[in-house]
Amino acid sequence: MTLPLPPYPSGAARAALFEAVAEVGAEAVALLAGCHGDTPIPGADWTVAEAAAHLAMANELMAALAAGEERPYGDGTPGSLAAANAVSLAERPGRDLAVLAAEIAWWAREFTVAAASRAGNEPVVTPMGPMDVDTLGAYLLTHMLGHLYDIAVALGRPHPVDRHRVALAMPFLRTAMPRVADARTAAGHSACYRLRVRGLDTFTVTFTDGAAVVSRESPRRPDCTILTTPVAFLLIALGRRSATRALTRGEVLAWGRRPWLALGFPSLFTAP
């Protein structure tokens, strides 16, 4: 369950979101240029070419959803999304990186065209459940940032994650948190967390017997306040960086009545 949060801002902020989507899609072309597609992604079963193929297909899916098409893709759980990913990759064997990079960029631009023609608060059904069009844009941006980060790490090249882009991804990250709460690790857990993403956002995640609720205001005194840098927040949320590493590097600080809860907070979720 998620308590109502302010709608995604319109006007200049919406234009910034669409611009970032198109920019990150275009950056995939340069990132993938001249590299070896069989390079493995660290910590994953995919190669660079497979990750690129997944991004091309996902961007096409998001563009179709923004255009009003209905495209079932799993049931929103991490396991079903992984299964849908495997099926889609098997159905599309092409691994030419130049072709895939061009498709990533093309479909990112097509998404912005389709989404811009609709109201930002218009509802859509997505692989992560229902959300509005602009939150879908934040979802697409988050998804590209995560996989292009993986590709950049595998290739030893600069990654595309920065503070500005994390700010634009925040509406999706807040929306997704209750939906990816891990039923096993969160079972029976009750605690109130105040999350402060430095310079960007502050919100509360409250667990009651394992069920997570996201809200702007704390329903009670927080048990643990977590302050994190924007880039660390995104990478931890996507399972690309451990909380322990972030804490030791000073990217995360925690305080409150139960500050030790910060270390286990990411384990209460399964990264989609």
What domains are there in the chain, each with its CATH number? 12-179 (1.20.120.450), 182-268 (3.30.1050.10)
- Segment 134-155 shows an average pLDDT of 97
The pLDDT assigned to 81 comes to 74
Q: Residue 129: pLDDT above 50?
A: yes
pLDDT band at 7 (very low <50, low <70, confident <90, very high): very low
Whole-number Cα distances in Å, 196 to 23, 88, 99, 105, 207: 27, 37, 40, 32, 17
Amino acid at 175: T
SS3 assignment for the chain:
CCCCCCCCCCCHHHHHHHHHHHHHHHHHHHHHCCCCCCCECCCCCCEHHHHHHHHHHHHHHHHHHHCCCCCCCCCCCHHHHHHHHHHHHHHCCCCCHHHHHHHHHHHHHHHHHHHHCCCCCCEEEECCEEEEHHHHHHHHHHHHHHHHHHHHHHHCCCCCCCHHHHHHHHHHHHHHHHHHECCCCCCCCCEEEEEEECCCEEEEEEEECCEEEEECCCCCCCCEEEEECHHHHHHHHCCCCCHHHHHHCCCEEEECCCCCHHHHHHHHECCC
Q: Residue 3: pLDDT above 50?
A: no
Per cent of the chain over pLDDT 90 is 80
Q: Residue 117: pLDDT above 80?
A: yes
The pLDDT assigned to 216 comes to 93
- Segment 13-25 shows an average pLDDT of 97
Lowest mean pLDDT among 73-87, 163-177, 196-210, 237-251: 73-87
Per-chain mean pLDDT for the chain: 91
pLDDT band at 226 (very low <50, low <70, confident <90, very high): very high
Of 97 and 75, the one with more pLDDT: 97
pLDDT band at 76 (very low <50, low <70, confident <90, very high): low
Distance in angstroms (rounded) separating the CA atoms of residues 90 and 103:
18
| Maximum mean pLDDT: which of 6-20, 82-96, 175-189 | 175-189
pLDDT 10s digits, 28-54: 999 999 999 999 999 888 999 999 999
Q: Strand order in 224-228's β-sheet?
A: 211-215, 201-208, 191-197, 224-228, 252-255
For 113, list phi and psi in degrees, rounded to 5. Answer: -65, -45
Q: Residue 73: pLDDT above 90?
A: no
The pLDDT assigned to 6 comes to 39
Alpha-carbon torsion 44, 48, 54, 60, what sign? positive
